[in-house]
Amino acid sequence: MFKRLLAPPKRSFFLFGPRGVGKSTWLRSTLPEALTFDLLDSRLFLSLSRDPGSLEERIGHPPRGTWICIDEIQRAPELLNEVHRLMELKGWNFALSGSSARKLRRGGANLLAGRAITVNMEPFTLAEVPGKVSSLIEWGSLPLVILHPEDAAEVLATYVHTYVREEIREEGLVRRVEPFLRFLQVAGALNGMQLNASNIAREAQVPRSNVDSYFSILEDTLMGHFLPAYQPKIKVREQTHAKFYWFDPGVARAAAGLSHEIVDGLWLGRALETLIFHELRVYNQVSRKHRPIRFYRTKSGTEVDFLIETRRPTASSKSQVVCIEVKHAERWDTKWETPIRSMAESGELAVNKMLGVYLGKETLSRDGFEVLPVETFLAALFNDEIF
């Protein structure tokens, strides 16, 4: 059992996360005395779906404050009305886990009107499973990959197949699976890149109108996250297409059909960005800072990989930001600093920190720009030293 950074809430909560990131294992470890209902059990699922009111009978008569876990809650949204009633009447606490909130939100399910907070679980961070950065870049950090690195390619290929079968086909999220599979391969190959829906539609041979819907499915089932473009008031026309990062570089590799192929340096560069974005998002959540994370790119192609806004602009002050450039290289080239330095020199933003992250071993510093090895950067991140 690896120790996770996520701290258990003290009151009822929804726990969402992609399949296979360890939600059930974490719940069993965190709430060992809780009564658990696993809706992947077909008989239990059918019984509670037919008669949600029987949940109270199955729970019995424990005292107020007792914890009840319901796993895969999105499979039976109708149970939430009963959960709501029992929270009010009995004073029980509920931990409700699932791999998607899509069915709950779009089906108008009772989301308990603030009586349960929402927390998210992601794959392991380097702070949770210290190891070789190169392995995490190539294969990601799903628990099964960490536990069985020798089988990483097969585990990831099976993961994508299971996602399509259980999340997409069985939940009826698309009318036809074949076009979605073609889209999935293209979306995997475009991990960490700006999106052009028309080009994606042409490559995947799907209608343009389907592309936004398909990306929405990936986002709602927690398979990836959009990284919006930052739009400060700079006298240059910004490109505003968002980037899309898969939640795990290994899963992106499998979706692209590259599990058993040798990936090139360009792919590894975007995989490292995916890993850093993952670590930034996890830290943002566990620290409860919830800072906006963006990227910045002008029409000329000047780009800053990650820009974290640490203070919103006011009538009397500029927006304050931390800028990060990520490079899959063991030697740092000072030309990579140009986009961030140009942004700082423009005077439109207060750039509090200018940072580079790379695969080298040395920490470098020159004229306010600090370059850190990946491990050093992540240690500083989780020690509250980055933002």
DSSP 8-state symbol, 123 = S
**The pLDDT of residue 239:** 53
238 lies in which domain range?
133-268
Q: Kindly state whether residues 259 and 322 are assigned to the same domain.
A: no
With bands split at pLDDT 50, 70 and 90, how would you rate the model's confidence at 298? low
**The pLDDT of residue 237:** 53
**The pLDDT of residue 55:** 97
Q: Kindly state whether residues 160 and 188 are assigned to the same domain.
A: yes
Instruction: Give CA–CA dist 174/182, Å, rounded.
Output: 13
Q: How far is C-alpha 323 from the geometric centre of its chain's CA atoms?
A: 20
Last residue of a domain, one of 268, 303, 332: 268
Evaluated on CA atoms 37, 41, 45, 51, the torsion sign reads: negative
**The pLDDT of residue 112:** 83
The pLDDT tens digits of the residues spanning 99-158 come to 877 777 765 566 787 789 999 999 999 999 987 899 999 999 999 999 999 999 999 999
Question: Which of the residue ranges 97-106, 242-251, 307-316 has the most confident prediction, judged by mean pLDDT?
Answer: 242-251
Q: What whole-number percentage of the chain has pLDDT above 90?
A: 80
Is a pLDDT exceeding 70 seen at residue 20?
A: yes
Give a yes or no: residue 254 inside a domain: yes
Sheet holding 93-98, edge to edge: 35-38, 67-71, 93-98, 13-16, 117-120
Instruction: Give CA–CA dist 91/243, Å, rounded.
Output: 44
What angle is formed at CA 384 by the lines to CA 251 and CA 193, rounded to 5 degrees? Answer: 30
State the amino acid at position 272 in one-letter form.
L
Q: Is 235 exposed, middle or buried (0-12, 13-18, 19+ CB in 10 A)?
A: exposed
Q: Kindly state whether residues 139 and 252 are assigned to the same domain.
A: yes
Q: Which residues are bridge partners to 227 per DSSP?
A: 243
Instruction: Give CA–CA dist 307/282, Å, rounded.
Output: 16
Q: Kindly state whether residues 18 and 95 are assigned to the same domain.
A: yes
The pLDDT tens digits of the residues spanning 252-280 come to 999 999 999 999 999 999 999 999 999 99
Q: Which residue has the tokens 């886990």?
A: 97
The CATH number given to whatever domain includes residue 18 is: 3.40.50.300
Say how many domains are in the chain.
3
Instruction: Give CA–CA dist 58/83, Å, rounded.
Output: 13
Contacts of 189 (CB under 8 A, 6+ apart): 256, 258
**The pLDDT of residue 109:** 64
Coil vs helix vs strand at 203: helix
Instruction: Give CA–CA dist 98/73, Å, rounded.
Output: 6
Give the residue from 25, 20, 59 showing the smallest Cα distance to 161: 20
Helices (H), 221-300: 249-255, 265-286
**The pLDDT of residue 108:** 55
Q: Kindly state whether residues 204 and 312 are assigned to the same domain.
A: no
Give a yes or no: residue 387 inside a domain: no
Give a yes or no: residue 126 inside a domain: no
**The pLDDT of residue 172:** 77
From first CA to last CA, the distance across the chain in angstroms is 30
Q: In the numeric block, which tokens belong to residue 187? A: 């979306």
With bands split at pLDDT 50, 70 and 90, how would you rate the model's confidence at 299? low
Q: In the numeric block, which tokens belong to residue 300? A: 């000329």
Give the residue from 144, 135, 121 showing the smallest Cα distance to 247: 121
The pLDDT tens digits of the residues spanning 314-344 come to 888 999 999 999 999 999 999 999 999 998 9
Last residue of a domain, one of 268, 288, 317: 268
Average pLDDT over the chain, rounded to whole? 92
Give a yes or no: residue 259 inside a domain: yes
Is a pLDDT exceeding 60 seen at residue 235?
A: no
Is a pLDDT exceeding 80 seen at residue 348?
A: yes
Q: Kindly state whether residues 259 and 147 are assigned to the same domain.
A: yes
Give a yes or no: residue 294 inside a domain: yes
The pLDDT tens digits of the residues spanning 37-69 come to 999 999 999 999 999 999 999 999 999 999 999
The pLDDT tens digits of the residues spanning 194-218 come to 999 999 999 999 999 999 999 999 9
294, 244, 201, 168 alpha-carbon torsion, rounded to 10°: -140
Give the residue from 101, 70, 123 showing the smallest Cα distance to 277: 123
Beta pairing, strands 67-71 & 35-38:
parallel
**The pLDDT of residue 132:** 86
pTM: 0.92
